[in-house]
Each structure stands twice: as structure tokens, then as C-alpha cells.
Amino acid sequence: MPVIVANFKIGKHEVTNDLWFSVYQWATSPDRGATIYTFDNKGTTEGAMHSGAGATIPWLGASEADKDKPVAYVDWRDSVVWCNAYSEMTGKTPVYKKVNGDILRHSDKFDTQAPGGEAENAVQDPAATGYRLPTEAEWEFAARGGNTGAAEWNYRWPGTNTASEVVDYAWIPGDSSDNWAVVGTKLPNSAGIYDMSGNVMEWTSFNTGGYRYAARGGAFYRDDPARAGFDRRDDNGIGSQRDLTGFRVVSK
């Protein structure tokens, strides 16, 4: 059965450490009072690369280039709550709401106001103008170039149908040093979107196949180009936070 995808805008890059922490610092400032945000994870600073650093900004004491690498070590809950913070910070209407209609500002999985936590039970406001995660259908539509009549629509990987050329479009082992890379430094697909075959896998949500979440695409240490294709997906736990998983945003 065909899946109909409404018009949407999608980030040409994965969310970077720089953008993540700019929004994170704004959202978690004590000056916000009752509208302060909380997150399960702080992002890459809590990951292995910066373990124990305790830095507010992840590239302190590391490479300046780290700010332009994709954020990782954030779970699905963190991603949707961050989308709301990014929306509020930029004057847009937050998409994700609690079951009672209030704006979702907390990703705490132990929140007692809803079974499993408010983030896990979030609903989307269809009238909202803000940022959110793409659905799986939107992610794949964008990865395939967005034109059903173009050759790329039937390719195996974003940008190419040739295994030996995947390295031109994606950061994969042997080329990535098994680590994150600065976004946008490989070739984009025909829609001008970068890194959909690999830098990090990307969270999606509200899927049509029974899952509320899945990570799509390749990643920097996937050891086979076949694992960087359009069909690559991981049904990770909603609280999974790993070095190979980040996200990009969409909006109206």
C-alpha cells in the first residue's frame, strides 16, 4: 500500500554538537524557571570520547572541529524534547505535547505522570510550526532524493547505486577512522542532503509499521556498505543512547 507523505522541510545536515549544546544551554538555564527543560543525557560529553571531561561544551579540551560533528549519545526521548526546545528558542510552536496538552519539556523516563514517562507517551500537535523528528516514510523519501521519477529513487544508497561509490557519500569504516566526522564533508544526494548513508544513524518517530521509533541509515563504523542502504534500520530501545546514533529535524 503506498504511503502518502505531505510536504515537509528536512535539515540538510544532522544536528551538530554546536547546535545541540546551544539549544541545550538555553533550555536548561535556571533562569527559565517553570519552563526549564531537563534531559536524560547531555549528549556527546557523556560519551566515551569525552568521558569524565565534565565540559559544558563538548569540544573543550578536544578538537575545535568536534563542534561540527553530529551529536550522539542522545536517546529518542532527548531528541523529541530537544526539538521542542529548539522550536521555542526560535519562536516556533512546539510539536510534542504531553497527554494533557502541555508542552513536553522533560525527557525523564522515570516521570510518574504517565506510564513510561511523558516523552515516551508524547503526542504531536498537527497545527504546530516547530521542529520534530521525521517519520520513517519522510526519512526515506528524503534519502531517496524526493523525486519518485528520478533514477536515484530506485538506488540502493543515497546518491549512488554502486557499492564502490558509497564511500563518496558516507562515512564508513576505512574512511571514518571509526569516529564521527564533520557534517557535510561527503557528497550530498540529489536533493542536497548530506550523510544519510552514514556519519551517524538517525532517530525517526511515529512510524506506520507499529513502532514509535527507529534509527535509520548507516553509521561511521558499519563494516559493510550494504548496511548503509535505504533499508537499514535498528529498532533500538527508546532509551538507547549510543555513539553511532544522532538525528536530524524536519518542519513544515
Per-residue pLDDT tens over the stretch 109-139: 655 444 456 787 888 999 999 999 999 889 9
| Rounded distance between C-alpha atoms, residue 11 and residue 184, angstroms | 11
pLDDT of 33:
94
Which DSSP string corresponds to the chain?
--------EE-SSPPBHHHHHHHHHHHT-GGGGGG--B-S--SGGGSGGGTT---SSTTTTS-GGGGGSBP-S--HHHHHHHHHHHHHHTTPPP-EE-TTSPBP-B--TT-TTSTT-TTTT-EE-TT--S-BPPPHHHHHHHHTTS-TTSGGGG-SBTTBS-GGGHHHHS--TTTSTTS---TT-S---TTS---TTSSSEEEEES-TTS-SEEEES--TT-SSGGGGSTT-EE---TT---TTEE---EE-
Q: Do 20 and 56 touch, CB atoms closer than 8 A?
A: no
pLDDT of 222:
58
pLDDT at 232 over 50: yes
Task: Write the pLDDT tens digit of every residue in 182-193.
Answer: 999 999 999 999
Determine how many CB atoms are found less than 10 A away from the CB of residue 160.
20
Q: Model confidence at 86, in pLDDT bands (50, 70, 90)?
A: very high
Q: Do 187 and 167 touch, CB atoms closer than 8 A?
A: no
Helix/strand/coil (H, E, C) string of 173-199?
CCCCCCCCCCCCCCCCCCCCCCCCCCC
Q: Do 99 and 40 touch, CB atoms closer than 8 A?
A: no
| Rounded distance between C-alpha atoms, residue 213 and residue 247, angstroms | 12
Query: Average pLDDT for residues 169-196, to the nearest whole number?
Result: 85
Task: Write the pLDDT tens digit of every residue in 65-78.
Answer: 788 999 998 999 99
- Please give the CATH topology (third level) of the domain spanning 9-251: paralog of FGE (formylglycine-generating enzyme) (3.90.1580)
Q: Which range among 24-28, 44-48, 170-174, 234-238 shows the weakest confidence by mean pLDDT?
A: 44-48
Instruction: For the chain, give the mean pLDDT.
Output: 83
Q: Model confidence at 89, in pLDDT bands (50, 70, 90)?
A: very high
The residue among 164, 162, 202 whose CA lies nearest residue 183 is: 202
Query: Average pLDDT for residues 173-199, to the nearest whole number?
Result: 85
All 3 cell numbers of residue 135? 517519520
Q: Model confidence at 54, in pLDDT bands (50, 70, 90)?
A: very low
Query: Average pLDDT for residues 197-202, to the nearest whole number?
Result: 89
pLDDT at 251 over 90: yes
Determine how many CB atoms are found less than 10 A away from the CB of residue 6.
8
| Rounded distance between C-alpha atoms, residue 30 and residue 83, angstroms | 19
Quote the percentage of the chain above a pLDDT of 90: 46
pLDDT at 235 over 60: yes
pLDDT at 206 over 70: no
Query: Average pLDDT for residues 15-27, to the nearest whole number?
Result: 93
Q: Model confidence at 43, in pLDDT bands (50, 70, 90)?
A: confident
pLDDT of 48:
41
